[in-house]
Structures are given as C-alpha cells and as structure tokens.
Amino acid sequence: MTSQPLPVSPVRIKPRLRGWKSLLTHQAFRRFVQLGFATFILVVTLQHVLVGESSGNVTASPEAYCPFGGLETLYQYITSGGSFISRTHLSNVVVLVAVLVTAFLFRSAFCGWVCPLGFIQDLVSGFSAFLRRRFSFLRKAVNALKKHGARLAFLDRYLRLLKYAVLAWAVIGAGVYGVMVFRDYDPWSALINIAKFSFTPGIVVLGVTLVASLFIERPWCRYACPLGAASGLMGKLSPMYLKREADACKVCKVCTKACPMGLPVHAATTITSADCICCLECVCACPREGVLEVKMGIPLVGQK
Amino acid sequence: MRINPFVFGITVLAVFLGVILSFQAAGVWSVSGKTTSDGAVQPSVEDVSTIKGWMTLEQISTVYNVPLSEIVAQFSLPADTPVSAAIKDLESDTFSAEELRAWLESRMAPVESGAAGVPTPQDTPIPAALPTEHVAPEKTITGKTTFQDLLDWNVSEETIRQIIGGDLPAMTTLIKDYAVQNGLEFSTLKTALQSEVDKTR
C-alpha cells in the first residue's frame, strides 16, 4: 500500500484589484490618513508663518504638535510642577501621551500611519521607485550601487541601535540642561522652520535623510529617530503582532521587499520587532490569502 | 485573534485622536505660551524670568514701568522701533530676551547697602508682611491705572474725553484695556494723560 500525502488546505490567491477598486485597500486608506496629518501640519505651518505672532494673535507653531517635544520637556514638567522647557507646551505632552497609548496598544503604528516625516520619506522613496521603473539606466545604477553596498549590510543591525543613543542623549540632555539639545539636529524641526532660513545641522540631517530615502526606505526611522525608538520600546508591551503561517508561505520574499523598515518578514513566524511600524505593507503585498495577518495575543509570551 | 487591517487602521486613528480630544475636552491643552487655561499670560512684576520672546516692548514698558526710550537707548535699538514689536523680532548682538531680563533684574535690585550711615539688612530686618509687588511712583500711569485713578488725581473728565477722543468708559476700566479695545496705542495715550497728570502736581 503506497502512502498518500495528507491533503493540504488550499490557500487562496488574493484577487488582483484594478482601477478604482485598487483604492479600496487598507494601504490606500493608510496613505489617505498620512496625507491628512501632513496637510494639517502644513496648514498650521503656513498659518504660523503668514499670520505670525507679533500681535495679539495666537497662531500655534507646528512644533507645538511634536510628540518628541513632549518627551524632551517631560522631566521638567514633572519636576517643576507644570513648567515647560522653551518652545514646548502642554500640547506636546498630550500628543506624546497619545503616541505612547497608541504604541502600547498597536506598537509603532503612529510611525506607519500618522508621522508626517515618515510620510515624506515614503513619498521620496515612492518617487525614486517610479523613476527606476521609468528609466532603466537609473534602475541599473541603483542596483549596481546596492550590489556594491551589500557588503556593508552587516552594519545595518548596529546602526539601528543608534536611535536609542539619540533618544538617551536628547532626553537626558533636555533634563540636565533644561533646553532641547536635540532641536538643532532634528530634521523635522529644520523642515517646519525652513521659512526662517536659518542654517542648522538639522538642515544637513534633513538633506541627508531625503537623499538617502532615494536608495533606502525610511532611513531616519530605521537608524536615528528617537521618537520611533521610544515608541518601539513601548510597543514591546503591545498585544498586536504580525503572524506568518510558515506552512502556507511559499517564501517568495515579497513581504520582505515591501517592508519599508527592511525587516526580514519572510524569515520570521511572528513579527514583534521594535522596528516594525505596523504599516501593514507586507500584509498587503503578500499574494496569498491568510498567510500574513495582524493578530492579537498576550504580550511577550502569547504571541506565537 | 485575527484583526482586519482596515479595523486596525481605524482603531489606531480612533485611539490616537481620541486621547488628544479627551485631553482637550478636559481643558488640558495649550499650543502657545501666550495663553493658559487661566487666560492670557503676562510677565510678572516680581519675576523677570516670565518674560518671553513673543512679548512686546510695550508690555515690558508697562509692566516694569520702564520708559520705552530708556529700553531703546540701553540696547541701542533703532529710534523708530515700534512699541508693538516682539522681543524675539528685535534680537541682535546687543539685544535679546536674556539681556533684557538681566538688565531689568539689575535695575529692580535694591541699591547696595554698606555705605556709612546707611542701615544694612542685618540692622533692619525686613518685616515678613512687606509687600513684594512693584509699586509705581505716585501719580504715574501704569498698566494697572484706571480712569477713576485719573479723576482722583484731579484730571478733569473733559480733559480725559478730549485725549481719548470719546466718552468715558466705566470708571473702573483699566486705561490699558481701553486702549487695546479701541485700537489705540497705550504708550501714546499714556504719554498724553501723564502730561495732564503732571500738570496737577
């Protein structure tokens, strides 16, 4: 008697959406949300620049909505009983609380769904991908560059630790000196204050970030963002995680290629990395139904 | 438990905005140092560290009772500096909020004791109940002066009407508030009224 292979439950291939139906994906929804927050910050910035504050008007600075400002001023706010370091307000602390609550429940979903600086990096990377599709010489040049740069890939895991050092420096520095020591180096601060035409190291960091985004997705988020570091650490306590069904997966690596944070999704069964921004690009990219899914389980122990 | 990606996104949005809106609804929200839940922020007479870059020279002049011309001369500011200019907009090598704070602090500090015949703090202990609020010289118009004060200082109603160019408001109205409400420059009004007060001395 010959042994018959056990029947494997068939895995459906996701239907390919075309035309307006392609806008009905959760990724289109995510882009819409990102665009909404970026537009809000743009309006606040323009209002602050055009209306100004020299008269009795109160036009909020876009910096008033930065959650990292809340983290920098938190020590002073607690120890002084309610005062803030310069250029921060109560709104910074409130937005920080919102980011941390979001991270506690949904990991770093703030980075993937809300953060305007992340969105700008996504736009630059998207533009770069468009150019590479359009012009073959660019595609070849970038591929050659990536091939040569592959030998430096081992640096990636060490460089990702840099953001924790930036987080410690910015928070401890603000606590000790009572000023935002990170502000002059912050690309986000440089961007929203660009109308002041003041040259700061942050302008250089912003330029490097945008140029790097042409070759690597979300370079600032991967290596240097202190808010992402804080959110990632808090996210370790989140019940949300991504699950890859190894039995049904064909290891096509589409998920890994889609991940803007460069995580090896195809090689993991559960994705609980502090670097995961829960953008769900990998879930959308996976061609098979139910192979890669968002799941909920007990943090640290029940996510298998 | 499996979560639909759409539900995930909507819940992220709801939680993030929900937390912020909850704080706002509870009154725990401020996007500017200019206002708090208690109202507009003003520099404190007792504490120069409350001076912020967005505050105007007019505010400083009024609250600390320093003539604008003295501030302009001290920091070599242009003679045509508008009183409504914010401190941060006038910053230069010789002028900044920090410089202004330091100067006002030294200006407000008591004259050094120790000269012959002058009692030292050890000789005359300060009474515990001594008022700490800065008191302007007698019959000097400040931001706290009301129209009733002007009448008390023997300035006639007719004279006040001519200067303000209208009817008198409620007697308890601060002159500064009247100027702001009617789009008048407080410093101009103050100078004109002060000259009338000086005539009555």
**A284 and chain B in contact, CB less than 8 A:** yes
Residues of chain A with Cβ-Cβ distance to B13 below 8 Å are 33, 113
| Residue A78 CB coordination number (10 Å) | 11
- Alpha-carbon gap: A112 to the closest alpha carbon of chain B (Å): 10
Structure tokens at A36: 């909404």
Contact criterion met (CB < 8 Å) for A33 and B28:
no
Q: Is the pLDDT of residue A242 over 90?
A: yes
pLDDT digits (tens, 9 = 90+) for A99-109: 999 999 999 99
Residues of chain B with Cβ-Cβ distance to A110 below 8 Å are 12, 16
Contact A122, A260 (CB under 8 A): yes
Report the chain B residue with the minimal C-alpha distance to residue A57. B34
Contact B31, A69 (CB under 8 A): no
Q: Is the pLDDT of residue B7 over 70?
A: yes
Report the chain B residue with the minimal C-alpha distance to residue A53. B54
Contact A285, A264 (CB under 8 A): no
What backbone phi and psi angles, to 5 degrees, belong to A79?
Answer: -75, -30
Mutation pick from B4, B30, B57 vs chain A, by most beta carbons of A within 10 Å, is: B30
- Alpha-carbon gap: B156 to the closest alpha carbon of chain A (Å): 32
Residues of chain A with Cβ-Cβ distance to B41 below 8 Å are none
**A49 and chain B in contact, CB less than 8 A:** no
Q: How sure is the predictor about B89, in pLDDT bands with cuts at 50, 70 and 90?
A: confident
- Alpha-carbon gap: B63 to the closest alpha carbon of chain A (Å): 16
Q: How many CB pairs under 8 A join A and B?
A: 103
pLDDT digits (tens, 9 = 90+) for A4-28: 555 555 678 887 777 877 778 899 9
Q: Is the pLDDT of residue A39 over 90?
A: yes
pLDDT digits (tens, 9 = 90+) for B146-196: 888 888 888 888 888 888 888 888 787 788 778 777 777 777 788 888 888
Nearest to B20 among A89, A98, A278 (CB): A98
Contact criterion met (CB < 8 Å) for A110 and B16:
yes
**Alpha helix locations (H) across chain A?**
26-51, 67-79, 90-106, 109-113, 116-134, 136-149, 155-159, 162-177, 187-192, 201-212, 219-223, 226-235, 254-258, 281-285
Structure tokens at A173: 């520095």
Residues of chain A with Cβ-Cβ distance to B34 below 8 Å are 53, 58
**B14 and chain A in contact, CB less than 8 A:** no
Report the chain A residue with the minimal C-alpha distance to residue B85. A54
pLDDT digits (tens, 9 = 90+) for B184-195: 777 778 888 888
Q: Is the pLDDT of residue B111 over 70?
A: no
Kindly report the average pLDDT of chain B as a whole number.
78
3-state secondary structure of B150: helix
Arithmetic mean of pLDDT, A124-149: 92
A185 exposure class (CB count in 10 Å sphere: 0-12, 13-18, 19+):
buried
**pLDDT at site B128:** 41
Cα–Cα distance between A170 and A96 in angstroms, integer?
A: 15
Q: Which amino acid is at B3?
A: I
| Residue B40 CB coordination number (10 Å) | 9
**B3 and chain A in contact, CB less than 8 A:** yes
Q: Which amino acid is at A108?
A: S
pLDDT digits (tens, 9 = 90+) for A67-86: 999 999 999 899 988 788 88
Classify the phi-psi angles of B154: left when phi > 0, otherwise alpha if psi is within -120 to 50, otherwise beta.
left
**Chain B (38-57) residues lying within 8 Å, Cβ to Cβ, of chain A:** 54, 56
Residues of chain A with Cβ-Cβ distance to B15 below 8 Å are 98, 101-102, 105-106
Nearest Cα residue to A229 out of A194, A182, A277:
A277
Contact criterion met (CB < 8 Å) for A29 and B20:
no
